[in-house]
Structure 1
Amino acid sequence: MAVIHNGVKYRAADAHAHIYPGKIAEKATASVGDFYDIRMQNVGLPHVLRERGREAGIDRYLVCSVATKVEQVRSINEFIRKKCEEYPEFLGLGAWHQDIEDINGEFDDIQEKGLVGIKLHPDFQKFHIDDDRMIAVYREANRRGLPVLFHTGDSRTDFSSPRRLMNVVEKIPDFTCIAAHLGGYSEWEAARRDLKGTNVYIDTSSSLFVVTREQALENIAHFGVERTMFGTDFPMWLPKTELERFFALGLSEEENRKILYGNFARLFHLEEQV
């Protein structure tokens, strides 16, 4: 399986996708669409993700879901575990909540389930990225080699601002994290101004539909091609559409290979790009 552009074959991974259990998938999908006032293009079901991805040539997916209550964490993580077992193309991120008390115990459970990091959405979960309670969580995630994927940026709130993530990086300089949405949804300029770091990655999800080509390239240059990954934010966008938007940036073949798969493979210790 491959993505083909201008006669060139690329291996591709989707580094940002959300999935939900069948009984809540439509409601959860609609809720996200309402929050952002964006019409969702899919329903967040695992088989739909794989079908839409295969149609576009994608063969690996980083899947996650968000816990808005602490009691949801274990059930979400068990769901993600089962779906990663059912769909070998999936890599799973664990859900986390700011009210978890047993940090080590929860990380033990996440790693026992074979999950490869954690996902946080401060705007949904209503905590500041640099909340003092979370610093120990980030340190432990980093110690265990588990990247943290943050929804980053929203001009309507201050929970997830790039500046707050930078406050964390200043305390943990080698913190391996992914600042989604080119470093800050609707705060792309602030991402360039306020956020940097040796191990700060970004993804392209939920940004290419609205930023200019020049803005996207500026953010990629700021964080580095070697720390940029392709992502769709499924179920918000169709993989095929997001790939078209990505290729419209006009990057080189080498840069495309890094962003579409190579950086993802390196970060999550997968097979090399072919």
Structure 2
Amino acid sequence: MIDAHVHLMTMEMLEDAIKRFEKNYPGSDKQIRKSGHKIFADKSMKYISGTSLKEKADDWLKVMDENGIEKAVFFPISQRPEQVRDFMANSPERLYGYAFINDPASHDAPDVLKSGVNEYGLCGLKLYPSIQLFHAYDKKLFALYEEAQGLGVPITFHYGITHAPMADYRYTNPLDLQLPLRLFPKLNFIIAHFGAGFFREVCLLGYHTKNLYLDTSGTNNWTEYTPENWKLKEVFKRAIEIYSPERIIFGTDTVLRPDTGYRTSIMKEQLNVVEALGISSGETDLIFGGNAKRLYFTP
């Protein structure tokens, strides 16, 4: 099994994120830090700040062994490729990392991604429009897409609702991807969390689209805030009907910390949901590892 959406956090990454928010929303520093403490309890902050990358890697390998996770793909929250590289170095065959670019619309963004992949060994790019304040169809992003397409690495987007302390929902509609999906047909795009509340829009994007994948990560409690009040089984069923099992990717969205640990309950819930749908064992294997292996680990 491959968990294709988990998170690596360090204090340097958190401070970088706060600075980005402060730049976008001057004077919001205290509010951002207060919101952050609501998300991360004191034990979590102590763990993030008080453990080395090796200790974090050792803790991850332990919970991966306990939960039958062969490999995991880690998303950083800021542009710290050296930390992701050093973290992965503790178990290169099991720990894989994404790139994050603080300003994806900048002129040097393609070079930052190229360096991340070629020099730091990263396997994808995470973009977060509602906190990075861009529309995916902005032509300023096209050079970055072109670079990712040439490098053969996917781009994962977070759309929909978010726990981020500051986010602008004007940038959170996944339909923004419609044009890039057409213009960059050899680039694989991934939408995290089934679109986190924008599931209708995600379904619409499946029309004549072959290079878009969905990841299943997180609690998916966004369903409770939609008019339909979808059950997770219904979400999986419709996603598989539209995208097929070949384009659904399992993840838990785990941030490892002492007060929560690995999100075993999410893993078990999703396994039970998929089993209840009655798809074949081969199709189940694709969702829980095969698709991620093809995207990230197949030359």
The answer, yes or no, to whether TM exceeds 0.5 is: yes
1:218 and 1:202 mapped to 2: Cα distance? 12
Select the residue among 6, 16, 27 that pairs with 2:5.
16
Q: Is the 8 A contact 2:181 2:211 kept in 1?
A: no
- Deviating beyond 6 angstroms after TM superposition, the runs of 4 or more aligned structure 1 residues are 23-28, 37-44
Query: What letter matches 2:127 in structure 1?
Result: L
Structural mapping, 1:66-215, within 5 Å: 66-67=77-78, 73=79, 76-88=80-92, 89-96=94-101, 97-110=103-116, 111-154=118-161, 157-182=169-194, 184-196=195-207, 197-206=209-218, 208-209=220-221, 210=223, 211-212=230-231, 213-215=233-235
Alpha-carbon RMSD? 3.2
Q: Do the aligned partners of residues 134 and 195 (structure 1) sit closer, same or farther apart at CA in structure 2, a change above 3 Å counting? A: farther
Once the two structures are superposed, residues 91-133 of structure 1 have per-residue CA deviations (whole angstroms, 9 ceiling, x without a partner) of 1111112243224432331121111121111122122222221
Once the two structures are superposed, residues 196-234 of structure 1 have per-residue CA deviations (whole angstroms, 9 ceiling, x without a partner) of 521211110125454411122112321221011100111
In the alignment, which residue of structure 2 is the partner of 1:262? 290
Identity %: 25
2:113 and 2:40 mapped to 1: Cα distance? 35
Whether 1:61 aligns to 2:72 is yes
Query: What letter matches 1:102 in structure 2?
Result: D
How far the C-alpha of 1:34 sits from its partner, in A, is 4.8
How far the C-alpha of 1:82 sits from its partner, in A, is 0.8
Select the residue among 226, 230, 255 that pairs with 1:235.
255
Q: Decide which structure has greater helix share.
A: 2
Query: What letter matches 1:17 in structure 2?
Result: V
Q: Secondary structure at the match of 1:91?
A: strand
1:56 and 1:207 mapped to 2: Cα distance? 17
Q: Which runs of 5+ in 2 are unaligned?
A: 18-31, 49-55, 163-167, 224-229
Q: Secondary structure at the match of 1:245?
A: helix
User: Mean alpha-carbon deviation: is it higher for 130-139 or for 210-219?
Assistant: 210-219
2:158 and 2:34 mapped to 1: Cα distance? 15
Q: Which runs of 5+ in 1 are unaligned?
A: 1-11, 68-72
Q: Do the aligned partners of residues 108 and 191 (structure 1) sit closer, same or farther apart at CA in structure 2, a change above 3 Å counting? A: closer
1:25 and 1:49 mapped to 2: Cα distance? 19
Q: Secondary structure at the match of 1:86?
A: coil
Query: What letter matches 1:217 in structure 2?
Result: K
2:86 and 2:8 mapped to 1: Cα distance? 12
How far the C-alpha of 1:47 sits from its partner, in A, is 4.1
Q: Secondary structure at the match of 1:158?
A: helix
In the alignment, which residue of structure 1 is the partner of 2:22? none
2:34 and 2:196 mapped to 1: Cα distance? 15
Q: Secondary structure at the match of 2:193?
A: coil
1:190 and 1:51 mapped to 2: Cα distance? 38
How far the C-alpha of 1:87 sits from its partner, in A, is 2.7
Q: TM-score if structure 2 supplies the norm length? A: 0.73
Q: Secondary structure at the match of 1:16?
A: strand
Query: What letter matches 1:81 in structure 2?
Result: R
Q: Is the 8 A contact 1:203 1:231 kept in 2?
A: yes
1:256 and 1:215 mapped to 2: Cα distance? 15
How far the C-alpha of 1:32 sits from its partner, in A, is 11
Whether 1:51 aligns to 2:62 is yes
Q: Is the 8 A contact 2:98 2:125 kept in 1?
A: yes
Q: Do the aligned partners of residues 189 and 173 (structure 1) sit closer, same or farther apart at CA in structure 2, a change above 3 Å counting? A: same
